[in-house]
Amino acid sequence: QVQFVESGGGLVQPGGSLRLACAASGFTFSSYTMSWFRQAPGKEREFVGYITGTGGSTNYVDSVKGRFTISRDNAKNTVYLQMNSLKPEDTAVYYCKVPSFSYWGQGTQVTVSS
């Protein structure tokens, strides 16, 4: 079955960095674009960015552009989200997803606070 296991979240101070990972299984990973989403308390799930199957193209929501970078290692079936210059408003549960699939993982909590 299709599975996504997000990891790497935690508590970090404003201005700090985290690297999230999403280990995927149950499909031919390298054939698919991978996206990152996040959901803050009381808010709708928000698109963060994506990376194409080859890793050749990325795109990001304006609020994270220049601070976040998505990459992938197809040999490990893993997509990453490098998060720099973190702000309190980045606090959310972060999820990875294949755009055309209906499956979600459990997410990983990112808390940015002093």
Q: Taking Cα atoms as reference points, which of 54, 60, 57, 68 lies closest to residue 17?
A: 68
Residue-wise pLDDT for 25-75, tens only, equals: 999 999 999 999 999 999 999 999 999 999 999 999 999 999 999 999 999
Q: Taking Cα atoms as reference points, which of 57, 54, 51, 53 lies closest to residue 20?
A: 51
Q: Which residues contact 106 (CB under 8 A, 6 or more apart)?
A: 5, 6
Predicted local distance difference test score (pLDDT) of residue 84: 98
Return d(Cα 43, Cα 55) in angstroms, integer. Answer: 30
Return d(Cα 114, Cα 51) in angstroms, integer. Answer: 31
